[in-house]
Structure 1
Amino acid sequence: MEALKEELVREASPVSATEPLNPPSTQTADGAAQEANPTLPAPVALQDRDQVAVLSQGQSIRPRRFVPQVLLATAKRLTTLVLALVAVLISLLAWDSYLTAPWTRDGRVRVQVASVAPEISGRIKDLRVADNQFVRKGDVLFVIDPFDFNLALHGSKAMLQQRAADLQVKERQSERQRKLSSVATTPEQQQIYAGNAIQAEAAFEAAQYQVALAEINLKRTEVRSPVNGYVTNLLLRAGDYARQGVTNVSIIDTDSFWIDGYFEETKMSHVCTGARVEAKLMGYSAPIVGHVNTITRGLSVSNAAAGAQGLPNVDPIYTWVRLAQRVPVRIAIDEVPPGVPLVSGMTATVTVRDNSAADHSWLFSARASLFNVLGSPPANPDCISPVIDSEPGQSVPAWEAQATPDPEQINPGLATDIQASPR
């Protein structure tokens, strides 16, 4: 039995079998002590070259490199702690960026639409555009049948010639009566002929206006585009009757595109007029570059509307849940990348970039994010003030009632004894 134990100890020991760790007498004594007292620990073979080879009764393990192992364990704990703190900080910054960073996915492409309506009524003779066709300012959209307006123009010109001949006759009669002596004619007759000449002159001027109006109406038979853009939702066709003042063609003004970004009120402290903006449309990776043009200063409040019997109508809310209102911000488009079409109504992700990125380093951004987490964000020096104070001494001019002009200034030569007031 003793020989078997000794063989096992030598095989487990990293030391060569030719150099036993303990003399045979010591091993025999240890074996005898183990048999006499079974509670004593048996000899244990250690494979670590930095420790004592065999642990026997009354002996203890003492590592040769105890201090480096302690330092290594401490370094591991510190590294784990630092990584955990960095992860927490990154999570806080990401959460703060999601809550307060000036960006929104609620953006819409907007455009002005020109509603074209004819200024005269008539049947459409020729339709010269198609749906979604690009037109330039001044291009003819459709033509109204000009037959009736040609007749009106010729009739107005004939009436003008008649009024011109009548005026010539009346002026000659008035001139002849004026040259006659007082024996051949009376002052009353002279005034009558002079009045007839004045009436003929007024009729001649009215005929001139009728001719001008007929010429304008004839030109209005060609309805032209007022802007550069695309014809949209065209339902008109040749033969339809166009009514004066009724819209029948809509044109998207391609020179008036802008983007409306609806930002949450928690992010409005970082939205400044003039700030650089990038907007990405769904399906297109290239961003549209623009700048903040204006910020809406008013939103509709449902509580302001009076309820039944004129009493206030206050909507109930949950005190632990508050939804942030969205403020419309108008963004002017500066640059559109090639291949990105602008279609009114498309959704966009709008991000407001720092207007002075050269002045604000990453340290400023980190400080701003940290203060946002703590609840007191620093003011952005580039933002507009919430209230624009008027200059000293500047006020709205008061309305002054103008004095009634003298009748002599209105119509020189008016008799003073004529009563112009209504009876």
Structure 2
Amino acid sequence: MSLSSVIPVLLTLGAVAVAALFGWFAWDVYMGRPWTRDGMVRAYVVTVAPEIAGRIVKLPVADNQMVHKGDVLFEIEPADYQIALDAARAQVARDQAALDYARANEGRQATLRGEGWVSKDVFQQSASSLHQLQAAVAADQTAVAKAELNLSRVTVRSPVNGYVTNLLAQRGDYANIGQNLVSLVDSDSFWVDGYFEETSLGRIRDNDPTTIRLMGYSQLIRGYVGGVARGITVVNAQPGQGGLASVNPIFTWVRLAQRIPVHIHIDQVPDGVRLVAGTTASVEVGR
């Protein structure tokens, strides 16, 4: 057999071998190692609302600013709450003075009654006044504790390490109780949800290593599988107008696989990669 006739055979065998190698690689990527481009960066968002009402007099943070746990986010005008505390303390002092007098008077009444100078009714009135004032002082002390608590709440601090986001409050705004004024993206809570097809779940195990690629970055993020969601919303289970199941007809020959959230813990974030909740991620399990 001449060399000219062998070369085409060798080229054909080489092309077949390369095609088989690429086919095996594609099978390993698509079937051997579960992956999805339908992933999303997630993070917990902490909403901060005042527990007292008043005008905002200090707002030392700015939108997108990094804050640490315990940093001041805003401060509410304290004058009204300081006045309420002073009034509560004055009430305690007044009722305490009356209680001291009633206690001394009750002691004198007890001595005189023992000597027969005071009737039983008069003594009982003195004892009743003493008990009422004791209750009044206890209530006053509770009012002082409440006023001190309210005064401590004029300064609102960050409960987590995180980033201020979508800040719309301004100094001078009037803050109402329970009104969301500051939202914080918890910087210690980032994770990735990979929405894998249900046909891939059998090859995903807890603690499997994962590789995450964010759209817009070439660097890879390392993580591991933290768990698989145990349920998703079933649209056909929603009752219709008559209370019966509302089943949507399906006319396709091939039924699409459901996508199930898989929680991915993040181990390492390369330098230069900024995690942003809601951004797109590709996730591969097994490497």
Normalised by the size of structure 1, how large is the TM-score? 0.63
Aligned residues: 286
Structure 2 unpaired stretches of 5+:
none
Match of 1:302 among 235, 252, 255: 235
Cα deviation code 1:96-143 (max 9, x no counterpart): 633563111111111111101001000111221111111111111111
Match of 1:227 among 160, 181, 185: 160
Match of 2:53 among 121, 140, 146: 121
Match of 2:96 among 138, 152, 164: 164
Shift in Å, 1:83: 4.8
1:256 aligns with 2:192: no
1:191 aligns with 2:124: yes
8 Å Cα contact 2:42-2:190 kept in structure 1? yes
CA distance in 2, matches of 1:150, 1:231: 29
CA distance in 2, matches of 1:92, 1:141: 56
Between Structure 1 and Structure 2, the one with more strand by share is: 2
CA distance in 2, matches of 1:282, 1:78: 42
Cα deviation code 1:54-81 (max 9, x no counterpart): xxxxxxxxxxxxxx55x99689658746
8 Å Cα contact 1:99-1:266 kept in structure 2? no
| 290-299 or 178-187, larger mean C-alpha shift | 178-187
Q: Which residue of 2 aligns with 1:334?
A: 267
Give the SS at the match of 1:316: coil
CA distance in 2, matches of 1:124, 1:319: 59
1:28-39 to structure 2, matched below 5 A, reads none
Give the SS at the match of 1:108: strand
Give the SS at the match of 2:93: helix
Give the SS at the match of 1:332: strand
User: Which amino acid in 1 is paired with 2:177?
Assistant: Q
8 Å Cα contact 1:100-1:267 kept in structure 2? no
CA distance in 2, matches of 1:79, 1:254: 56
| 206-215 or 113-122, larger mean C-alpha shift | 206-215
Shift in Å, 1:87: 2.6
CA distance in 2, matches of 1:337, 1:83: 39
8 Å Cα contact 1:100-1:266 kept in structure 2? no
Q: Which residue of 2 aligns with 1:97?
A: 29
1:276 aligns with 2:209: yes
Q: Which residue of 2 aligns with 1:370?
A: none
CA distance in 2, matches of 1:318, 1:92: 34
User: Which amino acid in 2 is paired with 1:325?
Assistant: Q
Change (3 A) 1:178 1:211: same
CA distance in 2, matches of 1:89, 1:253: 45
User: Which amino acid in 2 is paired with 1:344?
Assistant: A
1:19-418 to structure 2, matched below 5 A, reads 68=1, 80=12, 83-84=15-16, 87=19, 90-91=22-23, 94-95=26-27, 97-98=29-30, 101-180=33-112, 181=114, 183-318=116-251, 320-353=253-286
Normalised by the size of structure 2, how large is the TM-score? 0.91
Shift in Å, 1:352: 0.9
Cα deviation code 1:180-231 (max 9, x no counterpart): 2262223333222222111111111111111121122111111111111111
User: Which amino acid in 2 is paired with 1:144?
Assistant: I
User: Which amino acid in 2 is paired with 1:130?
Assistant: A
Give the SS at the match of 2:30: helix
Q: Larger Cα Rg: Structure 1 or Structure 2? A: 1
Cα deviation code 1:347-370 (max 9, x no counterpart): 11111125xxxxxxxxxxxxxxxx
8 Å Cα contact 1:229-1:254 kept in structure 2? yes
Identity of aligned residues (%): 49
CA distance in 2, matches of 1:283, 1:319: 35
8 Å Cα contact 2:33-2:286 kept in structure 1? no
Over the aligned positions, Cα root-mean-square deviation in angstroms equals 2.3
User: Which amino acid in 1 is paired with 2:138?
Assistant: E
CA distance in 2, matches of 1:142, 1:342: 26
8 Å Cα contact 1:278-1:289 kept in structure 2? yes
8 Å Cα contact 2:64-2:163 kept in structure 1? yes
